[in-house]
Amino acid sequence: MVYVTKCEYNIDIGRLEMEDLLGNQYWIDVYAVEDECADNMYQRSSLDYLLYNKPVKYVNLLLCGELKNYVRQNPIYLEN
């Protein structure tokens, strides 16, 4: 299991960069995750919310295999 100590989204290249307790650096291609987990714009909005506001939770859900379930159960509905 990876314990994330530092996590930051790099919007310029579309990847989430993180570091674990031992100083190892990892990155996640956010576009690939969105293509795999989200079927519509509401689910993508839910992923974006996690990515910008709670990146550590995003990583934990992804590594545990629960990100797809989270997105399906907690979509953000946009209001006009």
> What are the per-10-residue average pLDDT scores of the chain (80 residues)?
83 92 92 90 89 90 89 66
CA triplet 29, 66, 16: central angle to 5 degrees?
Answer: 20
Domains: count for the chain: 1
The verdict on residue 9 lying in a domain is: yes
pLDDT at position 9 is: 92
The verdict on residue 64 lying in a domain is: yes
pLDDT at position 71 is: 87
Mean pLDDT of the chain: 86
For the chain, state the CA radius of gyration. Answer: 13
The verdict on residue 80 lying in a domain is: no
Is the pTM here over 0.85, yes or no? Answer: no
